Structure 1
């Protein structure tokens, strides 16, 4: 299976990097691999039940009909395919985080990114321009909510794609695109190591109210310092990198996938959310404007590679997105 070939090669890269820097692959408190696998399993069960109930509701809901749909739809082959996709995704995500962590061993190049931003905005800081335009109170809290909601949105979306699509292979396109965005993203971290404008230009964000954003930023900097000082410590693990913005990249993948599945209203909602994410990443100091531009490019490349991975000769026929009318059972391939 091509998806697993990609995942296996990426895992080999992560293992090679781990050996080179002398830091083993880690899953701190099980938060990256084990707990997320559990969350995905729980979401899969819930979404499968919702999917079956909605399909049955078209003919009149009963518990017996719901169970019949579940048995028909979730045969052994389909379950194996879905489990395989989720495992491949989480393996890549686990390796991504470990490679991201060891990237902090390389010297950051924030001054260069800061210079690019100032050049693009004619000598001005894009964050300061946003602060002047939007203010530094209500907007800070609104954009904080947008930024922090990303994690759950992404988590639910990729499980929903593989669970709700009529054809499992169409769900694999989403998983493959998500896998590629993490791979390309960590590659961009190594291309230009950076910490973010909140660290390189803290004066630009001094007027913002203190929220969980500043606490998270301080924690990430402390994690980096701890790893640099004690790389062999079992709790040494860093999560800070700016270029490119994977908040923007993954959100753009969600938008492109909504369009791929023909979900027009979802695509419109994701367009609005992407706009808020672009603002939030710069306004709150997580990313330079050029990080966001790079994130947009990564997303389009990732989706192209995702589709090529699953449909190397192109797809024939229309895409059957989540809960298409008239379809009660799914084709496996």
Structure 2
């Protein structure tokens, strides 16, 4: 029990177990199978090991380059594996990836089941009114379309919005594999897990579809982009799911409150600050977060209240994860770059903004 309390991944593993049980119970209760949300990339038992090997291999190469440079890369890689990649580190990284994936799959399945549990309850009309209040009587979509136009910037916002999908697991792999301090990787992994769980709870508290699905006329002037294709696919999947839940092979993925695009990107940027990453990384993270917020409103994925709630979830996820992984510490002037701390499972003191 002492070891479990000190292991920085204990909370993430227990959280993933709890949410997985909730997803399984929901699936059994509704008579629906659990589904792999990213099955188009291949079955999970093939995809996950390949992803893990990619992260491990990339981490070994980068650690070798950092210590020895390109010329000694082939000869020094084995030394790096022997000296830096002990069993505890490998198991901890595996725990981070596994807890993230379990929470993500459970979140997607619970989100998919939302229309069955809350089929007669939607708060889109109230949220539309809140948008008008924030916009002084003008819908935020109209303001943003007038400000940025509906052609070139539509492609830019679409690129940023869709980039979220691969960048999140890539950022997880970077913090898990490149940091020798296991507590830092555990902190980030637990942060993402909490985003999925708290986001799921928010969907059930305030079910909503989103402006693009409630007032599609506001977005008819936008040029076709990857986002518009995705929105059409999501609505088609939702209608198929509602018509015959037991026969639908895809996962229903329409839910507005709160915005997990906003919560996760805010959490990543806030995490960069809390762990003292270099200025370039922090700047890129905050810019990406800011553009993501605009994109959610520009394309009608979310209402303004959804984004505000997303920021709250992101902040809470980072703060709670700091406590859960032993990373809550005093303010001090140091930078915890990836790989600074030597490989132990001990807690790391993090810079507080």
TM-score, normalised to structure 2, is 0.87
Structure 2 partner of 1:322: 338
Conserved 8 A contact 1:43-1:159: no
C-alpha displacement of 1:70 = 1.9
* 1:202-255 deviations in Å (ceiling 9; x for gaps): 111111111222221111111111111111115142111111111111101110
Specify the alignment match of 2:87 in structure 1: 76
Residue 40 of structure 1 is matched in structure 2 by: 51
Work out whether residues 272 and 282 of structure 2, in 8 Å CA contact, stay in contact via their aligned partners in 1: yes
Q: CA deviation at 1:319?
A: 7.0
How many Å separate the matches in 2 of 1:29 and 1:89? 14
Q: Does 1:273 align with 2:288?
A: yes
Residues of 2 paired with 1:66 and 1:215: CA distance?
A: 44
Q: Aligned to 1:151, which of 158, 165, 184?
A: 165
| Contact kept in structure 1, 2:37 and 2:105, CA below 8 Å | no
Cα distance in 2 for partners of 1:204, 1:143 equals: 17
Q: Deviations over 1:288-313 (max 9, x none)?
A: 1111111111100111111111118x
Aligned length in residues? 329
Indicate conservation of the 8 Å contact 1:10/1:183, yes or no. Answer: yes
* CA separation of 1:140 and 1:236: change in aligned 2, threshold 3 A: closer
Aligned pair partner of 1:92 in 103, 121, 133:
103
Alignment RMSD, CA only?
2.2
What does the per-residue CA deviation read over 1:108-166, in whole Å, with 9 as the maximum and x for residues that have no partner? Answer: 32111111111121211001100011111111111111111111111100111111112
- Distance in 1 between residues matched to 2:73 and 2:103, nearest whole Å: 40
Could you say which residue in structure 1 is the equivalent of 2:155? Answer: 141
Aligned position for 1:23: 32
Correspondence for 2:274: 260
Higher mean alpha-carbon deviation, 2-11 vs 38-47, is at 38-47
Give the distance between the partners of 1:222 and 1:38, measured in 2 at CA: 32
Once the two structures are overlaid, the 10-residue window that deviates more, 19-28 or 212-221, is 19-28
Given candidates 322, 333, 346, the residue that maps to 1:307 is 322
> Alpha-carbon deviation of 1:167?
0.6
Q: Look up the match of 2:264.
A: 250
**Counterpart-to-counterpart distance in 1, 2:12 and 2:176:** 14
Specify whether residues 134 and 236 from structure 1 end up closer, same or farther in structure 2 by C-alpha distance, changes over 3 A only: closer
Output the CA distance in 1 between the equivalents of 2:84 and 2:61.
13
In the superposition, relative to structure 1, how do residues 234 and 287 fare at CA in structure 2: closer, same or farther (>3 Å)? closer
- The answer to whether the 8 Å contact 1:164/1:321 transfers is no
Q: Distance in 2 between matches of 1:256 and 1:306?
A: 12
Alignment CA distance shift 1:84-1:60 (3 Å): same
Contact 1:177 1:253 in 2 (8 A): yes
Name 2:310's counterpart in structure 1: 295
The gaps in structure 1 that reach 5 residues or longer are none
Asked if residue 178 in structure 1 is aligned to residue 204 in structure 2, the reply is: no
The corresponding residue for 1:129 is: 143
- Structure 2 gap segments, 5+ residues each: 1-9, 347-353
Structure 1 residue 52 corresponds to structure 2 residue 66: no
Q: Secondary structure at the match of 1:149?
A: helix
Deviates more, 1:107-116 or 1:167-176: 107-116
Deviation at 1:60, TM superposition (A): 6.9
Q: Hey, what's the Cα distance between the residues in 2 that align with 1:204 and 1:43?
A: 43
CA contact 1:282–1:289 (8 Å) conserved in 2: yes
Q: Structure 1 length normalisation: TM-score?
A: 0.92
Q: Secondary structure, in 3 states, of the residue corresponding to 2:245?
A: coil
Q: Separation in 1 of the partners of 2:75 and 2:38? A: 41
Deviation at 1:38, TM superposition (A): 4.1
| Alpha-carbon distance, 1:29 to partner | 6.7
